């Protein structure tokens, strides 16, 4: 009886919740994006092309997309290892590690950027060790990747954790009892199960990384052609009251990002 009443009380909310979520999505998502598209496409094609194909903009596209892809890749691999160790093993400090994963969510990204720039700068705790080896992290493209990994860690770990938790270890035991090696078991049994979650982890990390501004500007060095990212370039054009170029670059960036995300997602569909 109780279950019935609970079910009934949930169902009639459909129209209300749909109405609320539609209003919410239209006001906060659709209208701003539509405004960007309208404003970006209201200029002439040649002006639009000139804005997005200047050497400086092209260099920034390259820096932003490559750094985001690198960060998302590294993060997916390390995130898988972290999620695995958190879900499959019990060890001292596991709760603390689990909690630490969420820190990048809570920390203002500018604080993260300043901290990383201090640590990895030529005189910083870590930078001082790397400098004699000829490795530059802060104020170099590597610095951008480090900052992006920092802000996207929770996206990978938190996406993979519940999926790993739901994996049945008995399937792996069965594979092993049938003579499969540990590596084969992982590659042929475990990994296919995790594949969709891994792709989602990559997608989320990548999507988060391409939009990141706050932490990156502190560690990137912001040199045009070398370490200038698209979000910074957009800000720079806005600061110069050059709204047309800013919206053109933003629109092209949005399209490029959506295209890349669609490609990654389609890898998932094909397998199904």
Partner 1 sequence: MWTSVNRCPVTGSPGRPVSRPGDVVTRGPGNRAELFFARIVDSIGRLLLIGALVLVASALSAAELLNVSYDPTRELYQEINSEFARAWMRAHRESVVVKMSHGGSGKQARSVIDGLPADVVTLALGYDIDAIARAGLLPATWQSRLPFHSAPYTSTIVFVVRKGNPKGIRDWDDLGRPGLSVITPNPKTSGGARWNYLAAWGWAKRRYGSDARAMEFVSRVFRNVPLLDTGARGATTTFVERGIGDVYIAWENEALLVTRTIAPGRFQIVMPSESILAEPPVAIVDSVVRQHGTSAIVRAYVEFLYSPMGQRIAAKHFFRPRDSGATAGLPPTFAPVKLFTLEEMFGSWSAAHAAHFANGGSFDRIMAAHR
Interface residue list for partner 1 (CB under 8 A): 54-56, 59, 117-118, 121-124, 139, 217, 220-227, 232, 235-236, 238-242, 245
What's the min distance (Å) between Cβ of 148 and partner 1?
A: 18
Cβ closest to partner 1, residue 111 vs residue 225:
225
Tokens of 166: 């739901």
Cβ closest to partner 1, residue 73 vs residue 222:
222
What's the min distance (Å) between Cβ of 236 and partner 1?
A: 5
Length of the chain: 272
User: In angstroms, what CA-CA distances link 150 with 105, 144, 240?
Assistant: 10, 10, 30
Closest CA to 213 of 66, 113, 101, 107: 113
What's the min distance (Å) between Cβ of 176 and partner 1?
A: 53
Cβ closest to partner 1, residue 98 vs residue 242:
242
Residue 72 has a CB neighbour count (10 Å cut-off) of: 28
Cβ closest to partner 1, residue 208 vs residue 237:
237
What's the min distance (Å) between Cβ of 195 and partner 1?
A: 40
Closest CA to 98 of 111, 109, 108, 84: 84
* Dihedral angle of Cα 124, 127, 131, 135, to the nearest 10 degrees: -160
């Amino acid at each position: 009886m109780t279950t019935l009443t609970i079910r009934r009380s949930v169902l009639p909310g459909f129209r209300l919740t749909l109405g609320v979520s539609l209003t919410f999505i239209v006001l906060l998502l659709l209208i701003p994006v539509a405004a960007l598209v309208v404003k970006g496409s209201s200029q002439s094609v040649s002006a639009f092309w000139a804005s997005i194909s200047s050497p400086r903009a092209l260099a920034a596209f390259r820096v932003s997309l490559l750094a985001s892809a690198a960060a998302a890749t590294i993060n997916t691999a390390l995130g898988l290892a972290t999620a695995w160790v958190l879900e499959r093993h019990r060890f001292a400090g596991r709760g603390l590690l689990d909690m630490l994963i969420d820190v990048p969510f809570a920390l203002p990204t500018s604080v993260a950027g300043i901290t990383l720039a201090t640590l990895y700068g030529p005189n910083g705790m870590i930078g001082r060790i790397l400098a004699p080896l000829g490795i530059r992290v802060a104020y170099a493209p590597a610095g951008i990747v480090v900052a992006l990994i920092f802000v996207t860690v929770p996206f990978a770990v938190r996406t993979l954790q519940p999926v790993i938790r739901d994996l049945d270890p008995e399937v792996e035991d069965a594979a092993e009892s049938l003579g499969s090696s540990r590596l084969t078991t992982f590659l042929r049994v475990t990994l296919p199960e995790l594949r969709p979650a891994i792709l989602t982890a990559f997608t989320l990390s990548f999507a988060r990384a391409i939009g990141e501004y706050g932490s990156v500007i502190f560690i990137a060095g912001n040199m045009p052609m070398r370490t200038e990212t698209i979000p910074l370039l957009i800000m720079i054009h806005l600061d110069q009251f050059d709204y047309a170029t800013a919206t053109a670059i933003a629109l092209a960036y949005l399209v490029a990002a959506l295209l890349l995300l669609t490609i990654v997602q389609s890898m998932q569909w094909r397998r199904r």
